Structure 1
Amino acid sequence: MSETNNLQLWPAPTANGSLDATVTIPGSKSLSNRYLILAALGSQPVTLVGLLRSRDTELMMGALVSLGVRCDIDPDNETTVTVTPPAGGRFHGNADVYCGLAGTVMRFVPGLALFADGPVHFDGDEQAYARPMKPVLDGLEQLGATVDYHGEIGKLPFTITPPAVLPADHVQVSIDSSGSSQFISGLLLIGSRLSGGLTLQHTGEKTPSLPHIRMTVADVNGAGGHALANEDARVWTVKPGALQLPERVVVEPDLSNAAPFLGAALIAGGTVRVPHWPVETTQPGGLLPGYLERMGAKVVFPEQDGIRYCEVTSDGHIHGLDDFDLTAAGEIAPSLAAILVFADKPTSMIGIGHLRGHETNRLEALVTEIRRIGGVARELPDGIEITPVPRASLHGAVMESYADHRMATFAAMIGLAVSGIQIVNVTTTRKTLPDFVGMWNGMLGE
C-alpha cells in the first residue's frame, strides 16, 4: 500500500562529484538496548555513556520505566543515561509496555515480565502486528508464564502473566528461532535470573545472525553472567547468578549504521571515513569493511589523535559477487543491495530469508524498489538476486520506505547516482539515526 497520500516526500540529493567526508555515527542500537536490559536486571545503578538516542532506545527506556526502572538523562549530555533497577529487583506488574516497531523491545522486554509482580500488557505500532513473536513467548510459557493473545496468535498485542512461583531447577527450553536471532537473545538475557539457570535449544536448521547472539552472550558475561554456546549443536546454556554491569559503560558506534555512509564512497566515488571504529567488536557491522573490499573498495584503519578510523576509498567501480552469503550480517543487506545495483555483474545475496520478518518484508521491498527505478531484481528462496543495468537506464521515482529505516537509507543511497529520487517518510530513519538527513547532507557538503 502506498504511503504517499499522507506523508511528505524527501528529495534524495545526488552526488555532484567524488566524496571526501568524515561522518560520526551515533551509538549502537543493538548494544544500547542490550545494555539497558542488563542494567535493569542488576542491583546497582549503571551509567551508559554514548547511548543511542533514537526511537528504538526511547521505546526501550519507556518500557523499562513502565516496569519500575529509572532512566535519568544527564542534562548536559543526552547520550549519558543512568539506569537504576527497581528496589529488590522486582519489576512492576499491571503495566503497559508500548513496543512501537522495535524488535529488541518486543522480544527482549517480555522476558522481564517473568519477574514482575503482576500481568504486563504489550502493544505496538499497527505494522508491528505482522512481526513474529511466538518463539520467545513459547519459551516464556515453558518457564511458567501465561500468555494471552488479544489478536493473532504469536503476534502483538498480548499480555504476559508471570508464574506464581518461578522454576527452582535448571530448565531446558526448546524454540525455533529461524525467524530472528532476537528470540534466542531475549531468553539468554534473563537466564541468569532463574534459580537453576537455563539451557536453550534452537530447533531450526539455520540460525540467523549468529553475531547478534554472540553479542548477547558476550554482554551477559560482561555483566558477570556465565553464558556458554555450543553453536554446532544450536544449544546455549546460562548458569544462575547475579548480573551487574560495571558502574560506567561506553557504547560503541553503530557499525551497521555506518554502512550507508561508507557504501556511499563506492556509489559516488571518493573517500568516506568513520571515527571511533573498534579494533574488535561483537557487532555484525564489523564485517562491513571486508564486504566493501570484496566489492573493490580500498579500506584502511588510520589513527589520528588516539582515534581509530575506518576509511573507505573507491573509484566508483563496483564488483558483483557470486553467492554472497550474508547470514552473519543480514541487517546491512539493504545497504549492500544499494551498492550492488551499480555493480559490474549480477549478485545473489543469500542467507537472508529471515529479513522477510523484519520491520517489513525487506526482500520483497528491495526487489520492488529496485524494479521501481528501472533495475532488475528477483527474490530467491533465501535472498535476492540483483542484475545490474547501465546507470543511464535507471530513472527517478518516488521510493517507499515501508516505515523501515534501512529501506529509507537504501533509497537515499540509490539517490546518490540516480536523479529524481524522492523518499516517502524519510523520518523513519529516526529509529536508529535521529539526524540522518543532516548527516547525509553533511557528507555531501550541502
Structure 2
Amino acid sequence: MVTMTAEETWEAPQAGGPLDATVTIPGSKSLSNRYLILAALGSRPVRLTGLLRSRDTDLMIAALETLGVDCRVDLDDPTNVTVIPPAGGRFRGGARVDCGLAGTVMRFVPGLAMLADAPTRFDGDEQAYRRPMRPLLDGLTQLGARIEYLGQEGFLPFVLTPPSHLVGGEVTIDSSASSQFISGLLLLAARADGPTIIVHSGQHLPSLPHIAMTVEDLCQAGVQVQANPDCCRWSVEGRGPAGTQLPDQVQVEPDLSNATPFLGAALIGGGQVSVPKWPERTTQPGGLLPKYLETMGAKIDMVPDGQGSATFRVTGGESIHGLGDFDLSPAGEIVPSIAAILIFADCPSRLHGIGHLRGHETNRLKALATEIARIGGQASELDDGLAIEPVPTQRMHGAVMETYADHRMATFAAMIGLKIPGIRVRNIGTTAKTLPDFPGMWKRMLAGEGQD
C-alpha cells in the first residue's frame, strides 16, 4: 500500500500496451454506510459482510461508536462487522462526532443524534465547512431539533439538541444541493412514532438513484415507504422503538462507481478490463455505467456467475465517442471518470444535470475545468454541468495535477496519465476515502495481475 503525504506527488503510470486485467472492487460506500445506519437503528445485532473499509466507512463506524453503538470488527476479516444497537434504542449524546469529509456521515448521523439523550456536537475537516448542511438541519428542526451553529450558519460545526420525543410529521426542504438530505431524513423517519412525510420543494433533485437506494434499503429493513419521486414526496411509516429489522446477515455489493476508473481505463488504454460480482440488479448509480460506456464506443459483455451477479467485461473500441448533449444527473458521482474518458473523444460533450457537483468534496465542475486546462485540454463550466471540447492528444502535456482533497479528482488524474506522459498527482492518498489501496490496485491492473 502506498503511503504519501499530502504534499508529495505520485507519478501516474502509462498504459504500456492493451490492458488485460480483472479487478475486484471493494464494497459500496453508499450501501456500507446506509447499512451501518440501518443496523444501528434496529433492536438486535446485524452482521455486515463485504463492508467497505475506507476512511469514509471508518468515520461512520467511529461516529456510531461515539453514540453508543457497539461495532465489532472481525479480526480475521475486517470487512465483516457486527453492529449491536444501544439498549433501548437510545443513543448516547454529549460527545463530538468527527465527520471528516464524509457526506454520508455529516448528513446521516445527525438523524441518529435526534434519538440521543443529550446534545451532540458535529465537526469535521476544514474543507467540510464548505459543504452545505442547511436543508437537512432545517428538516430536523421541523421535527423538533434545536441547532446551534458554531461557525457559518448552515454549515459544520454545529451542536444538535434532540427533541424529547420523535413524533414524525411533514417536513419540507429544498434538497437541490444533495440527495443525501432526503436520504438522511428517510432513515431517521423509520424510528418516528408516527408517519413522516418528506417533501422536496426545489426545482431539481439530483442523484435520484441514491434516494431509490435508501428507499429499497429501508424496505429491506421492514419499513413501509411510499415513494413518489415524480412529485418529490416520500411517506414513511415510523416503527418507533421497534426500529429497523435488517436480516441477521447482509452482504454488501461491490462499489460500482469505484469500478468506473478501472473499466474506463479499457477505453483510454485499449484492451479489456473485467470486474466480477457485478449485480444483475442494483440501485447503485454506477449500475448505469454499462449503457454509458457502450455509448462511448466500448464493447460490453456480461457473463453470469449463477449467483445473481456477473463478470462485467469492457473492451475498448477503435475510438472514443463524445456524448453530445447528455444528462448525467442520475449518476453525478461518476462524472470525473466520465470526463477523463471524454477528453480523448472524437467529438464534443456537454454534460448536463450535474450543477450540484459544485457542493461535493470540492467544486468538482470548476476543478475538472481547471485540471483539464492544466494539461492543455479544453473544458468549461455550464450553469448545470460541464462542456468538454476534445483536442488532439499530442497537444496535451504532463503536469502536476491537483486533487483538492477529492478522491474522484485523484482517480480522474490517474486515468489521464494512462495516455499522457508526465502526469503527477498531488495527494493520491485522498483515494483512501473510498479505495484503501487505489495506487496498488491501479499498478496491478496495468500489470495484468489478478486482484483478490
Q: TM-score, normalised by structure 2?
A: 0.96
**Pair 164,6 (structure 1): closer, same or farther in 2 beyond 3 Å:** closer
Q: Which residue of 2 aligns with 1:130?
A: 130
Alignment of 1:70-109 (within 5 A): 70-109=70-109
> Match for 1:206 among 204, 210, 217?
204
Q: Which residue of 1 aligns with 2:43?
A: 43
Q: Does 1:152 align with 2:152?
A: yes
Alignment of 1:168-187 (within 5 A): 170-187=168-185
- What displacement does 1:303 show? 3.4
1:259 is matched by which residue type in structure 2?
A: T
Q: Which residue of 1 aligns with 2:381?
A: 379
- What displacement does 1:316 show? 4.6
**What SS does the corresponding residue of 2:80 show, helix, strand or coil?**
strand
2:281 is matched by which residue type in structure 1?
A: E
Q: Which residue of 2 aligns with 1:347?
A: 349
Q: Which residue of 1 aligns with 2:21?
A: 21
Q: Which residue of 1 aligns with 2:442?
A: 440
| Preserved CA contact (<8 Å) 1:54 1:431 | yes
| Preserved CA contact (<8 Å) 1:119 1:160 | yes
Q: Deviations over 1:173-195 (max 9, x none)?
A: 00000000000000000112111
Q: Does 1:60 align with 2:60?
A: yes
Q: Which residue of 2 aligns with 1:240?
A: 238
> Match for 1:404 among 399, 406, 431?
406
**What SS does the corresponding residue of 1:174 show, helix, strand or coil?**
strand
Q: Deviations over 1:77-127 (max 9, x none)?
A: 110000000000000010110000000000000011110000000000000
> Match for 1:312 among 314, 327, 333?
314
Q: Distance in 2 between matches of 1:439 and 1:153?
A: 41
**What SS does the corresponding residue of 1:79 show, helix, strand or coil?**
coil
Q: Distance in 1 between matches of 2:238 and 2:36?
A: 20
Alignment of 1:266-281 (within 5 A): 266-281=267-282
Unpaired segments of 5 or more residues in structure 1?
Answer: none
**What SS does the corresponding residue of 1:59 show, helix, strand or coil?**
helix
Q: Deviations over 1:203-239 (max 9, x none)?
A: 0111100000000000001000011111111101101
**What SS does the corresponding residue of 1:309 show, helix, strand or coil?**
strand
Q: Distance in 2 between matches of 1:270 and 1:254?
A: 22
> Match for 2:186 among 178, 185, 188?
188
Using the aligned pairs only, state the percent identity: 64
Q: Which residue of 1 aligns with 2:250?
A: 249
Q: Deviations over 1:236-264 (max 9, x none)?
A: 11012231111000000000000000000
**What SS does the corresponding residue of 1:434 show, helix, strand or coil?**
coil
Q: Distance in 2 between matches of 1:295 and 1:403?
A: 29
> Match for 2:218 among 213, 217, 220?
220
2:70 is matched by which residue type in structure 1?
A: R
Q: Which moved more, 1:410-419 or 1:239-248?
A: 239-248
- What displacement does 1:166 show? 2.9
| Preserved CA contact (<8 Å) 2:48 2:82 | yes
Q: Which moved more, 1:60-69 or 1:317-326?
A: 317-326
| Preserved CA contact (<8 Å) 1:273 1:312 | yes
Q: Distance in 1 between matches of 2:403 and 2:230?
A: 37
**What SS does the corresponding residue of 1:107 show, helix, strand or coil?**
helix
Q: Which residue of 1 aligns with 2:363?
A: 361
**Pair 178,131 (structure 1): closer, same or farther in 2 beyond 3 Å:** same
- What displacement does 1:308 show? 1.6
Q: Which residue of 2 aligns with 1:293?
A: 294
* Coordinate RMSD, CA, aligned: 1.2
**Pair 305,140 (structure 1): closer, same or farther in 2 beyond 3 Å:** closer
| Preserved CA contact (<8 Å) 1:121 1:157 | yes
In the alignment of these two chains, the number of paired residues is: 441
Q: Which moved more, 1:296-305 or 1:433-442?
A: 296-305
2:333 is matched by which residue type in structure 1?
A: E
Q: Which residue of 1 aligns with 2:331?
A: 329
- What displacement does 1:5 show? 10
Q: Which runs of 4+ in 1 moved over 2 A?
A: 164-167, 303-307
| Preserved CA contact (<8 Å) 1:348 1:386 | yes
Q: Which residue of 1 aligns with 2:140?
A: 140
Q: Distance in 2 between matches of 1:305 and 1:419?
A: 42
Q: Distance in 1 between matches of 2:305 and 2:350?
A: 38
1:262 is matched by which residue type in structure 2?
A: L
**Pair 6,439 (structure 1): closer, same or farther in 2 beyond 3 Å:** closer
- What displacement does 1:147 show? 0.3
| Preserved CA contact (<8 Å) 1:41 1:85 | yes
Q: Does 1:111 align with 2:145?
A: no
- What displacement does 1:142 show? 0.3
- What displacement does 1:164 show? 2.4
- What displacement does 1:41 show? 0.1
- What displacement does 1:314 show? 1.1
1:18 is matched by which residue type in structure 2?
A: P
| Preserved CA contact (<8 Å) 2:136 2:185 | yes
Q: Deviations over 1:8-64 (max 9, x none)?
A: 100000001110000000000000000000000000000000000000000000000
> Match for 1:230 among 212, 221, 228?
228
**What SS does the corresponding residue of 1:189 show, helix, strand or coil?**
helix
Q: Which moved more, 1:299-308 or 1:317-326?
A: 299-308
| Preserved CA contact (<8 Å) 2:169 2:194 | yes
1:311 is matched by which residue type in structure 2?
A: R
2:208 is matched by which residue type in structure 1?
A: L
**Pair 279,125 (structure 1): closer, same or farther in 2 beyond 3 Å:** same
